[in-house]
Every structure is written in structure tokens, then in C-alpha cells.
A and B are shown apart, each in its own frame.
Chain A
């Protein structure tokens, strides 16, 4: 039990599909993050929400759309994805964005395959 739960664990979708990834944290944190993890590459920050406000959008294509209805829940809506979007998508939370010593707590990720 990591305190951060992601669903689904695995997702296969075609390029014309629409799907959503869900993340929930039970740690009372105020910041939530979406990261993309590809093999042998550093984690890529996609989006950050701090107290439900989006504070970071790292030049992510519009086919990825985040939603943060409250401090405990985070979604990533996917549509018309490309095969190169296949990766592990990790959700994380922390006490607040950018606090020096405050570590991120990660979920187990969604393994996404785009066919």
C-alpha cells in the first residue's frame, strides 16, 4: 500500500480511442503530479497541481488533458494518442509543490500501450 493508488495498472488503446487514467492519494497532500517514464530515460514531468491549481504544464501535447477536481484526485484524459506515447505513467503527491525536503510519493503507475 503506497498511499497513492492508480488505475488501471495496464491499458492498451488504439490511436482513435479516448481513455482516462485515475490517481487517488490518501496522504493528505496538497500537490499532485503526472510523470511519464520511458525505458532508460529520466522521469519527464508532465503536469503539476498545487492546492488544485495547475502550476506546471511542461509543453505537453494537447492530446493529454489533466483534471484535478480536489486535492485527493487527479485524472489524465487521453485522446488520439500516438505509438510513441506508450510508456509508464506515474502519479505522485507531496505535501506542497517545491518544498525542499518533502519527497514525492508515487503510485505504481499505468503501463500504457498505444497500438
Chain B
């Protein structure tokens, strides 16, 4: 079967750095997405990786290793507004999106 694993919950301190990991086992790979979802709101697109390496977008970076079936989302200079759930999703060989259950990130002052 196809599977995406992410930690259920993480806690970090305002101003610090946090890394949210995502491991996947899917039938084929056609890209990996990260989304942010604040409570009661729509998931919003953060990043897309299809080649190995690091993609940087301001305070957020996303890394992919296809050989290891592994990605992480790195958040720097954490702000209170970064408290949200972070969803990892992989496109399989049929271009279907396989979703993780999400990681709830709690930022403390």
C-alpha cells in the first residue's frame, strides 16, 4: 500500500528553527507538495519538489531525497503565525495525490 508518514505534533519556540519530516512509500513518484493549514481555514500551497535538493522560499525551505523517500520542511525565524498544520502530499505514478495526516506545529513565546 501507499503511505506517507509525518509526526503528529511538534512544539517549537518563537524565533527558533524547526524541521518537519515526511517519509513516503508510494508506487512511483511525480513530485512532493507541502501545504500549510491554519485551524478552520483552507490548506495553502507552500512548496513543490520533484528533483533532489533544497528549495528555498524566504523563511521556508523544502528538501527532497528521492532515493530515501524523504522530505523535510524547514521553518526559520519562527513566528506565532506559523502555528498551523503542515501537510505533505506525494504524486504517485498515476499522478494521484497521496496525503499525510499532517503535523500540527505549536509555537510558544
Bound: A2/B41 CA distance, A: 10
Contact B42–A2 (Cβ < 8 Å): yes
Contact A103–B45 (Cβ < 8 Å): yes
Given contacts A106-B43, A108-B41, contact A98 B95 (CB under 8 A): yes
Residues of A within 8 A of B4 (CB): 42
Q: How many residues of B contact A (CB 8 A)?
A: 25
The contact string, 1 if C-beta is below 8 Å from chain B, for chain A 100-115, is: 1101111111010000
Residues of B within 8 A of A90 (CB): 42-43
Query: Could you tell me the distance in whole angstroms from the C-beta of A6 to the nearest C-beta in chain B?
Result: 9
Contact A42–B101 (Cβ < 8 Å): yes
The contact string, 1 if C-beta is below 8 Å from chain B, for chain A 32-72, is: 00000000111101000000000000000000000000000
Judge if B97 is at the interface, Cβ distance under 8 Å: yes
Interface centre among A41, A45, A103, A104 (most CB of B within 10 A): A103
Query: Could you tell me the distance in whole angstroms from the C-beta of A103 to the nearest C-beta in chain B?
Result: 4
The secondary structure that dominates the A interface is loop
Cβ-closest chain B residue relative to A10: B40
The contact string, 1 if C-beta is below 8 Å from chain A, for chain B 83-109, is: 000010101001111111110000000
Judge if B33 is at the interface, Cβ distance under 8 Å: yes
Judge if B11 is at the interface, Cβ distance under 8 Å: no
Judge if B27 is at the interface, Cβ distance under 8 Å: no
Judge if B30 is at the interface, Cβ distance under 8 Å: yes
Of the residues B97, B100, B102, contact of A104 by C-beta under 8 Å: B97
Judge if B13 is at the interface, Cβ distance under 8 Å: no
Bound: A24/B56 CA distance, A: 32
Contact A108–B42 (Cβ < 8 Å): yes
Bound: A112/B87 CA distance, A: 21
Bound: A99/B30 CA distance, A: 9
Sampled A-B contacts (8; CB under 8 Å): A42-B4, A42-B98, A42-B99, A42-B100, A43-B89, A100-B95, A103-B45, A109-B42
A101-B48, A105-B45 known; 12 other A-B pairs, CB under 8 Å? A45-B97, A98-B95, A100-B30, A100-B50, A100-B95, A101-B31, A101-B50, A103-B45, A104-B97, A106-B43, A106-B44, A111-B40
